[in-house]
Amino acid sequence: MITSNPRHLRGSYDVVVVGAGPAGLEAAVAAQDAGADHILVVDRETEAGGILVQCIHSGFGLHRFGQELTGPEYAQRVLTQVVKRNIDVVTDAFVLDVDRERRVKLMTQEEGVSLIDAQAIVLAMGARERTRAAIHIPGTRPAGIFTAGMAQRLVNLYGLLPGRRAVLLGSGDIGLIMARRLTLEGVEVVGVFELMPYANGLNRNIVQCLHDFDIPLHLSTTVVEIHGRDRVEKVTVAPVDANLRPQMERAWDVPCDTLLISIGLIPENELSEQLRLRIDPMTNGPVVTSTMECSRNGVFACGNVVHIHDLVDFVSAEAMLAGRSAGRYVAGAAPPADNVRLLPGENVAYCVPHTISTEREHTIYMRTRRPLEACSLRLTDLGGKVIYEKKLRYVFPAEMVNLKLRPAVLHHFHNGALRVDVAPRADG
């Protein structure tokens, strides 16, 4: 793994990439391929690689490398490409601010606070975990409440355990992986409680991390209170009704010393907000065009900072596009602007990118709001005419839907906006 490589930071860069996870690293490489000369990648951790560094389980890279890798292996592959090139990477560093003139206020171990000019910025800060406060669990504030990612870091990077008897709230992927990891470490994982009537993580994780270890998954059930003055002593859990309201008369107590929270990720949008980028309230990330450009010229974004991905492979694909676009922007070769807006319709929570062009090929990523079988994905113009339709066997909110769209499909379409629906098939 690498840490900082430049002996001296330049006063100005063609592209400054914020975040050295897979998104940032792939974007840096692609930016250079597209013609940018001086590129700086900044990361606040001591090692580059982002969250992958602590994901020591396998399941990464099937799409990108055609091979099942662990998180650190995937990160290493991407890093190797960066190291081979003349790209500056500075770790243990922090972007404090980016102003509208794309002047970056940077904190580094080498120089302290300094100001650097960038022609283009790529935001690749990833995501943070939702906390207990996001769902306002009442009760006490004892030690022993961790997000699943924090527990993962403790176990995998520090060789420490978060506790001895754990309850898991939420069935997000990191939580599921941690249920297995902790069980292997001898921690008693009492159960996983999920508010929704379906699991939030990938099906393969439910099977491999819970079923295989006999860890009970309680759907439509949530933690309603935390007890314990100094350390967690127990939690109260309750089933919820169809409106997700806890039924307190059916609540019960679960003794434990640890509560792990895995209720989802949220884009790390501090800088996006400082830059006053337009934010999509559904993704909590910036609104992006088909070149991954945000609402401010020369500012690009990719990876979990835009929307939460379930596979890193797609992060890589999105990041290469963002990096290439940043490189072209610097070279003055940006493609013509988009001409079609995508409007999330029935059972579609969001689409990324938010706009596309009828001239180019696109991959559109979207998330559905609820599970559905034998359905179809439809693009409809504002007049109600179906422009494109694709059959899907099933959809799950936990699994991102992606759609490759060739320019030919939109050849005769000049209408300005397309509604995207994932709905039961017309033929039933």
Partner 1 sequence: MLYDVLIIGGGIVGGAIARELSRYELRIALCEKEVEVGFGATKANSGIIHGGHHAAPDTLKGRLEWAGNQLWDELAAELGFGFERIGELTVALYDEQTPVLDRLLHHAAVKGIPGVELWTPERIQQEEPALSHDIIAAVYAPTTGVVNPYEACYALAENAAQNGVDILTGFPVLRLHWNGELWEVMTPGARLASRFVINAAGLYADQVAAMAGVGNFAIHPRKGQEYLLDKRLRGLVKRVIFPCPSPVSKGILIIPTYDGTLMVGPTAEDTTDREDRSTSAEGARTVFDAVRRLAPGINEKDIIAQFAGLRASADGEDFIIGPTARRGFINAAGIQSPGLTAAPAIARMIVEILQAENLPMTLRNDFVGRAPHPVHFAALSTQEQIALTLRHPRYRRIVCRCETVTEGEVIDAIERGASTLDGIKFRTRAGMGRCQGGFCTIRCMELLSRLRRLPMTALTKRGADSWLVCERQEAVNGDERAPGIEVGDA
Binding site for partner 1 (CB under 8 A): 44, 92, 94, 96, 105, 107-109, 111-115, 128-129, 131-133, 136, 138-144, 147, 149-150, 153-155, 157-164, 185-186, 224-227, 229-231, 270, 273
First to last CA, the chain: 53
Of the pair 26, 129, the CB lying nearest partner 1 is at 129
Nearest CA among 298, 372, 311 for reference residue 31? 298
Closest separation in Å from C-beta 244 to partner 1: 13
Neighbouring residues of 111: CB distance < 8 A, sequence distance ≥ 6 = 9
For residue 382, give the 3-state DSSP assignment: coil
Q: How far is the CB of 128 from partner 1 (least distance, A)?
A: 5
Q: Give the nearer residue to partner 1 in terms of CB position, either 68 or 110.
A: 110
Q: Which is nearer to partner 1, 133 or 408 (CB)?
A: 133
The residue among 131 and 295 lying less far from partner 1, judged by its C-beta, is 131
> At its nearest, how many Å lie between partner 1 and the CB of residue 1?
15
Q: CB-wise, 144 or 344, nearer to partner 1?
A: 144
Burial of 165 (0-12, 13-18, 19+ CB in 10 A): middle
**Taking the complex as a whole, how short is the minimal distance between the CB of residue 165 and partner 1, in angstroms?**
11
Helix (H) or strand (E) holding 25: helix 22-33
Contact 398, 200 (CB under 8 A): yes
Question: Contact 33/78 with Cβ under 8 angstroms?
Answer: no
Nearest distance in Å: CB 275, partner 1: 15
Q: Which two tokens stand for residue 280?
A: 């999509």
Contact 373/393 with Cβ under 8 angstroms? Answer: yes
Q: Which is nearer to partner 1, 161 or 409 (CB)?
A: 161
Which residue lies nearer to partner 1 by CB, 260 or 418?
260
Shortest Å distance, C-beta 23 to partner 1: 17
Report in angstroms how near the CB of residue 159 gets to partner 1 at its nearest.
Answer: 3
At 108, phi and psi to the nearest 5? -130, 160
From the CB of 237, what's the least distance to partner 1, in Å? 14
Q: Least distance from C-beta 177 to partner 1, angstroms? A: 17
Cβ-based nearer residue to partner 1, 270 or 381: 270
For residues 168 and 260, is the Cβ–Cβ distance under 8 A?
yes
Would you say 337 and 321 are in contact if contact means Cβ atoms under 8 Å apart? no
Q: 220 exposed, middle or buried (CB, 10 Å; 0-12, 13-18, 19+)?
A: middle
- Sign of the C-alpha dihedral computed for residues 325, 331, 332 and 336 taken in this order: negative
Number of Cα atoms under 13 Å in the Cβ half of residue 241: 7
Q: At what angle do helices 312-330 and 22-33 cross, to 10 degrees?
A: 40
| Of residues 279 and 387, the one with the C-beta less far from partner 1 | 279
**Of 249, 264, 247, 237, the residue nearest 132 (C-alpha):** 264
